[in-house]
Amino acid sequence: MVSQPRPTHISIVALPESMATPVHGLYETLMMLEAVGRNLSGDGTRLFEIEIVGPAPGILRGACGLPLDVHRAMSEVQQTDIVIVTSMFFEDEWITGRHPQTVAWLKAMHDRGASLCSACAGALLLAETGLLDGQEATTHWAFAPTFRQNFPQVRLCIEEMLVTAGPRHEFVMSGAASSWQDLILYLIARHSSPSTAMAIGKFLLYSWHEASQAPYISFMPPADHGDAVIRALQAWLHEHYAVPCPVEEMVQRSGLPESSFKRRFRNATGYSPLHYVQHLRVEEAKTLLERTAMPIDQVCLAVGYEEPAFFRRLFKRLTRITPGQYRRKFHFPFPARGVTEPVDVGGKPRHAGRPVGLP
């Protein structure tokens, strides 16, 4: 008699900072997969065993107050195949050391052969183990500054939607919040089959995101760097980004030698003046593509570029998709009956990339 293969055991971590939707979404996807998997295999084989683990069994209130039913305390779990740390919500900066027992448990599970996975900000807790040092990782793009500040030894690839790392590819990380769907489809394909992942994806209307988070990333340069001269120039630039030769204009306005200005600007913002201008102009172009029906060549002119071909190359380099693809993906839909054309809302673009604190 041939023995049935052992189901893959998955432990989904719930903490007070955890968002309820990813925890429930992962759990319910895997539970629903059992029916899909049985239909595919025809032999009733169980693919996964799933449980939600946390500091203690019972009802745990998540980050937004919704209840999470913790099945077992992490301390009771001595062996598992996959651990998933899901999206977390917290204010301001990530503070290390808030969950030492969880970090120790993650290390122990890895030592016993488990894969460690994260969705969104869960990568911050994975990084606390030190196991990601020298490895590549990804997380929600908005948490990039606090991630880099706390874990400079980790090579953060914030543009990537899904990253695997480690000698056994035992670390699997997905990007922004809803990318937990990419994570679970990847894990199903890897530990069951691509056809099974496709089947549950079709059933639940999940779809793979692009391979990159780049189209979603907003340009958010710092303004709290303490250099009043550069801060004033940032404020000016965010109002006059489309002027000809903005870098030369800033040099003149600064009253500094060009080399000194460029050095101070990079030290303060993390960008060269030219790259800052390029990121800012593309961010404003994204706003026009999202909110108006302005032709792409006019968008190019509106943000300060005269050569559409150069603008298109720059836009794709920074976002990994073309302006046309960006518009099709992010233009606000108008599905109401009788509306057949995009609505041009007009007006000046919002300054989405304006640093916090600038007037």
Q: Which residues contact 328 (CB under 8 A, 6 or more apart)?
A: none
Q: Hey, do 8-215 and 228-330 end up sharing a CATH topology, with the first three levels equal?
A: no
By CB neighbour count within 10 A (0-12 exposed, 13-18 middle, 19+ buried), where does 181 fall? buried
pLDDT given at position 350 = 43
Q: Examine the pLDDT at 197 and tell me if it is beyond 90.
A: no
CA 195 to chain centre: 26
Gap between the terminal Cα atoms of the chain: 74
pLDDT by residue (tens digit) across 63-94? 888 999 999 999 999 999 999 999 888 877 88
Fold assignment, 8-215: Rossmann fold (3.40.50)
pLDDT by residue (tens digit) across 270-313? 899 999 999 999 999 998 998 888 999 999 999 999 999 999 99
Q: Which residues contact 89 (CB under 8 A, 6 or more apart)?
A: 17, 19, 63, 64, 121
Q: Identify the architecture of domain 228-330 in CATH.
A: Orthogonal Bundle (1.10)
Domain-wise residue ranges, the chain = 8-215, 228-330
Pair of tokens at residue 3 = 């023995």
Q: 136 φ, ψ to 5°?
A: -85, 150
> Cβ distance 281 to 305 under 8 Å?
yes
pLDDT by residue (tens digit) across 93-139? 888 999 999 999 999 999 999 999 999 999 999 999 999 999 999 99
- What angle, rounded to 10 degrees, do the helices at 20-41 and 180-191 form? 30
> Cβ distance 3 to 45 under 8 Å?
no
